[in-house]
Each structure stands twice: as structure tokens, then as C-alpha cells.
Chains A and B, each alone.
Chain A
Amino acid sequence: DAGITQSPRHKVTETGTPVTLRCHQTENHRYMYWYRQDPGHGLRLIHYSYGVKDTDKGEVSDGYSVSRSKTEDFLLTLESATSSQTSVYFCAISEPRTPYEQYFGPGTRLTVT
């Protein structure tokens, strides 16, 4: 298994509170991604990073921000959580030689009440 961990694995929070999800990798892969998985939508890209301090928006970035201060960590922040952000969040990593071959973490189930 690729060395990818996500924390927390489960979280319940209230509407309006800030939430930060963490993705940690031990593979030294350059590219990191955050997806959300919802029924009927598959996986949708939120943000991605192509290097330390280099990030860009994905398909569904509104309401989310990211930071990557070191290679191994990629943080996803919901500044003010809403019920529409209830989802399962997956982190993924890949390398420049095969960027489409993404290795996924175990996921974080977030419930916003």
C-alpha cells in the first residue's frame, strides 16, 4: 500500500465551524489531490498541488482552501462548513512520470449538521 494517511477518519461538525482535514504521505510524491465522493457524482476534484506551496483549483473548489507547506502534507480547510459539504473526502498522490496513476488514501467521512 502507498503510504498515505488521512486524519481524522471520521468527523461530525456543526454548520459554520471551520474544519481542517489532513493528508500525509511518506512516498515523497510530487503531486497531491483532494477529491470528494458523493452518490451520483463519483469523485470530483476539489484542489490539487503540483509542488510545495503550488496549488490550483479543481472542479468544485468553492468553499474550500488548501495549503502545502511541505512535500508530505496537504491540508484541506472548510472555512465555514455547510451541510452541502457532508461527504467522503479522499486524498491522492501521484508522480510526474505517471501522473494519472493516482494512489488514494482511506478517506475521511465528514458530516456537517
Chain B
Amino acid sequence: GNSVTQMEGPVTLSEEAFLTINCTYTATGYPSLFWYVQYPGEGLQLLLKATKADDKGSNKGFEATYRKETTSFHLEKGSVQVSDSAVYFCALSDGGTGTASKLTFGTGTRLQVTL
């Protein structure tokens, strides 16, 4: 079956530091890949997505590139802010459009950014 593995947290960084959160996946076929973010006390929000190999998803300064050869989708940001403190989830979907999408999530990585 499908699975997503992401690095253990928590990750603690100083403001303006470079961020990488690793994510690798196992799936049959050609899944779509996502990063969701969960701020304290809230539900998850879609941060970025990539639907085919070599696509780069980006949003709010975050980027991730769909690497089929290494089955990876690492999240990066060049300069983190305190407001980026949250839990980040890598996820995949093997469904297409027109059908309900069953997402498979990683366990989440907590990021804490300090001044």
C-alpha cells in the first residue's frame, strides 16, 4: 500500500535560517504529492502541491520538487519566520479528478522558529 515517511521532529531553527523537511514516499503508479500545514489549534491547510514528476510546488516562500527517481518531496524555505512555527505534513494521493481523494499522510514534523 501507499506510505509516506517524513523526518522526525521537532525541528528548532532560528529566524532567517534555511529549512529542509525530508519526505519520501512509497506508492504504485503516479501519485500526486502535497504538503499540508497545521497551525496550533487549527485544522490542516494545503500549503503546496505537485501532480507529476519534476513539478515544483511553491507557496509563501516554501518549495518542494517531485523527484520520482528518489521518491522524494522535500520541503524547503530559504528564510523561516517565527510565524512559520507549525506542524508540517507530507501527503500523497493516488486518485485523479472526479473521484474522492484518499490522502495518505506522513506523521508530521513540528517546526519551531525562535527569535
Contact = CB atoms under 8 A, between A and B. Distances in A.
Interface in B14-68: 32, 34, 41-46, 49
B78 interface: no
Given A42-B89, A44-B105, A100-B32, A50 B99 contact: yes
B10 interface: no
Q: What band does the interface of chain B fall in when counting residues whose beta carbon is under 8 Å from A?
A: 20 to 34
B102 A58 contact: yes
- Dominant SS at the B interface? loop
A27 interface: no
A50 B43 contact: no
Interface residues of A, number: 29
Contact of A106 (B43, B100, B107): B43
Interface of B: 4, 32, 34, 41-46, 49, 89, 93, 95, 97-103, 105-108
